Structure 1
Amino acid sequence: MATQTESVVNTIPLTKATKPLEKYTHHPESKEDLKYADLVTIDLSEFDRPGGKEKLAAQLKTAVHEVGFFYVTNFGLTQGQIDEQFAIAREFFKLPEAERLSFRAPLEEGIYNGYRPLGSIEILPGLRDNIEFYNIMKFLPQYDRTHPDVIRQYWNEIEKFHRHCHEHIAYKLFRLLAIVLELPEDELENGHRYEANCDSGLRYMMYRARSPEENEKFKNLYSRGHTDNGTITFVFQQPVSALQVKKHNESDWEWLRIQPGTLSVNVADIMTMLSNGWLKSGVHRVIVPPEDQRHLERLGLLYFVRPSDRLKLKSVNSPLLRREGYHKDTTDLDIPATEWTRERIKKNWSRSPTDLEGKVSLGGFNAKLFYE
């Protein structure tokens, strides 16, 4: 694997007008008796040990085929580094709304590079969501844009964190998934290189708390059941319970518990397409937190791995898929995977919240928009 580039931490001095970041303290976990999903956990410290990759791939095989979610520990980031990103996010969401809006992303082009305002999406007829977020795409010249002072001030720290997610976590997971599919180890990684054009990004996400009356109107939904439109997604420590997964079509929704030192990972639509459905895109939703956390605003830290324009939408040539009857001979459709992910985002602005069968279709591949 190529040597990765990392940033030097603490090289940007604080200006006189900017206060140092206050230490971020996570909320305590809910004390309610919640049905937490029992998910496979892999320890990435095993990756470079003799036989470690093969061991981890074996642990993942059933999870990525049947559930689409798993946990990762020992992924190479300290609690201090994670908490610093939460602290940066907190400062961003303290900015006046007019200032946040001045950094709006080009959403209508299907690009999340910047701010997505509160209430952008209609989740039920006449009812708009309580979500806002700020995305920082890759640290390459073509993705640079104007950012708030708090983002620019901690630019080096954000870049180091951003690159680690992509080059030291995602690359390893792509190699494990390649082993599962019995592909050359670098095949999936090569379609997601950091230096290539893609829409991967770090996301600071805020769910604003609502009144009990509003929650009732919204049927206690923050975000409807869906799958992600990239390749894989990381969700960092989250003690405010709200994220739920649906392991199988007939399963009940179960809560995800993302504890300190644990990363939640879900397979997303691109991996499902490449494997003709053998790799399951994890179905999830976000609902109102349990009673003892319902009043809290829910700050999230995520990293979305999206495919690069080097990856074409076609079935991978996997011996595993051939044996299990999932292989489909496809020609190169010459559709860069980035075109798919942007088309899916664009659909957010035209979809109907009542169309439960609504899909995104492009190049012979389809993805459902909602899961109830």
Structure 2
Amino acid sequence: MTEALSTPSLPLIDIAGLRSSDPAARQAVARELRSACERCGFFYIHNHGIDAGLIARVRAEAEQFFALPSASKLAVDKALSACNRGYEPLRGQTLEAGSPPDLKEGFYIGIDLPEDHPSVLAGRFNQGPNQWPADLPDFRDTMNAYFAAAYELSALLMRGLALSLELPEDHFAPFVTDASATLRLLHYPPQPPQPAPGEKGCGAHTDFGAVTLLLQDDAGGLQVQAIDSDEWIDAPPVEGTYVVNLGDLIARWTNDRYHSNLHRVINRSGRERYSVPFFFTGNLDLQVECLPTCLAPGEAPKYLPVSVEQHLAECYRRTYG
């Protein structure tokens, strides 16, 4: 494959209009979203509404967590959780089939449900309590506050996506209600001078769910594959923005009109890299089937209907074995 292009070419969208009482302002943002989603499924957003102070606290807490001694991190190892919550050690996931495990460590946070919650008792996929590090007193409150803010922003984007697909603005309300979501803290060591063949911080993959909000530091390393080519496009950090990408659920829903695109991370900065993706995956019970506005006359859906829960379980099975 070719090296990354030197000039990033992902759209930058001001989403302030989605909060406007003026329908024309909301439709103007929706048109930009449609163009970006049809083009590559990746774009930057600004005027997103998440407080900069909260973002700074999340970054600081994430760096402090990954700086903890190994024993402290392993005390909240994801292996101790029945719902994939907690610490994931270095090389704990392989996102690109046939490549070495990813050169990153992580921490998973979801909606915190007690052991006696009906969804937990029923064994619903990835439903249960979070694990929290004992050594960081502000970690839990900070991450819960950020989770709520990212959830609200994801719901806003789903309204914009509905408009972009010529659907009622509240079309995705059942998907957003009682939605599943995952906040993930990631730490990437520098890429080794002589990596194993195919070794990367994060192998080429598409995301599982609907919408991903990515908070990057200034190290860079995110690359997106151009549609219909093998060129890798840099998606460098842009202050005050998120990188947003669509996941496989949106591709299924739109019959691939909107793209869930391959992306990867190679940390060539020579220093530590930290990122915080928020994966919005939706109501587990909802059936995802091709939207009527995404079928031309005589065209058939490419995908069979599937529940959000079934889809997520299969995606996790592929990457964790």
Residues 1:250 and 2:250 aligned together: no
Q: Separation in 2 of the partners of 1:124 and 1:313?
A: 26
Match for residue 207 of structure 1? 188
Structure 1 pair 34–189 and aligned structure 2 pair: CA distance change class (3 A): same
Q: Separation in 1 of the partners of 2:299 and 2:73?
A: 46
Residue deviations 1:257-280, cap 9 Å, x none? 222201000011010011111110
Match for residue 68 of structure 1? 41
Residue deviations 1:91-144, cap 9 Å, x none? 1111222221221225997x5321211112356868433211001102444532
Q: Quick check: 2:290–2:303 contact (8 Å CA) kept in 1?
A: yes
Match for residue 115 of structure 1? 87
Match for residue 314 of structure 1? 289
Structure 1 pair 342–107 and aligned structure 2 pair: CA distance change class (3 A): farther
Residues 1:170 and 2:154 aligned together: yes
Unaligned runs of at least 5 residues, structure 1 = 1-32, 351-372
Structure 1 pair 324–241 and aligned structure 2 pair: CA distance change class (3 A): farther
**Aligned ranges 1:28-107 → 2 under 5 Å:** 35-49=6-20, 50=22, 51-105=24-78
Structure 1 pair 324–175 and aligned structure 2 pair: CA distance change class (3 A): farther
Q: CA deviation at 1:60?
A: 1.4
Q: CA deviation at 1:190?
A: 2.2
Match for residue 275 of structure 2? 300
Match for residue 124 of structure 2? none
Q: CA deviation at 1:207?
A: 0.8
Residue deviations 1:207-255, cap 9 Å, x none? 1224312x2x344622222111111111113311211011212151111
Residue deviations 1:156-207, cap 9 Å, x none? 332221111111x1111101111111222222232122x34x2x12111011
Match for residue 343 of structure 1? 314
Q: Separation in 2 of the partners of 1:151 and 1:325?
A: 58
Q: Quick check: 2:220–2:236 contact (8 Å CA) kept in 1?
A: yes
Q: Separation in 2 of the partners of 1:325 and 1:170?
A: 33
TM-score, normalised with respect to structure 1: 0.74
Q: Separation in 1 of the partners of 2:298 and 2:240?
A: 38
172-181 vs 135-144, which moves further: 135-144
Match for residue 168 of structure 2? 184
Match for residue 354 of structure 1? none
Q: Which is greater in Rg?
A: 1
Structure 1 pair 237–285 and aligned structure 2 pair: CA distance change class (3 A): closer
Q: Separation in 1 of the partners of 2:207 and 2:165?
A: 21
Q: Choose which of 267, 279, 284 in structure 1 pairs with 2:258.
A: 279
Residues 1:133 and 2:133 aligned together: no
Q: Quick check: 1:238–1:259 contact (8 Å CA) kept in 2?
A: no
Q: Separation in 1 of the partners of 2:140 and 2:80?
A: 23
Identity of aligned residues (%): 25
Q: Quick check: 2:252–2:289 contact (8 Å CA) kept in 1?
A: yes
Residues 1:228 and 2:207 aligned together: yes
Q: Separation in 2 of the partners of 1:107 and 1:97?
A: 15
Structure 1 pair 308–106 and aligned structure 2 pair: CA distance change class (3 A): farther
| Aligned length, in residue pairs | 303
Query: What SS does structure 2 have at the residue aligned with 1:162?
Result: helix
Q: Quick check: 1:244–1:286 contact (8 Å CA) kept in 2?
A: yes
TM-score, normalised with respect to structure 2: 0.85
Q: Quick check: 2:252–2:303 contact (8 Å CA) kept in 1?
A: no
Query: What SS does structure 2 have at the residue aligned with 1:155?
Result: helix
Match for residue 365 of structure 1? none
Q: Choose which of 127, 130, 138 in structure 2 pairs with 1:145.
A: 130
Structure 1 pair 107–71 and aligned structure 2 pair: CA distance change class (3 A): farther
Match for residue 261 of structure 1? 240
Q: Quick check: 1:223–1:285 contact (8 Å CA) kept in 2?
A: yes
Q: Separation in 1 of the partners of 2:172 and 2:233?
A: 30
Unaligned runs of at least 5 residues, structure 2 = 118-127
Q: Quick check: 1:245–1:284 contact (8 Å CA) kept in 2?
A: yes
Match for residue 21 of structure 1? none
Q: Separation in 2 of the partners of 1:170 and 1:124?
A: 29
Match for residue 25 of structure 1? none
Structure 1 pair 228–125 and aligned structure 2 pair: CA distance change class (3 A): closer
Q: Quick check: 1:91–1:150 contact (8 Å CA) kept in 2?
A: no
Residue deviations 1:71-103, cap 9 Å, x none? 100111232211110111011111222221221
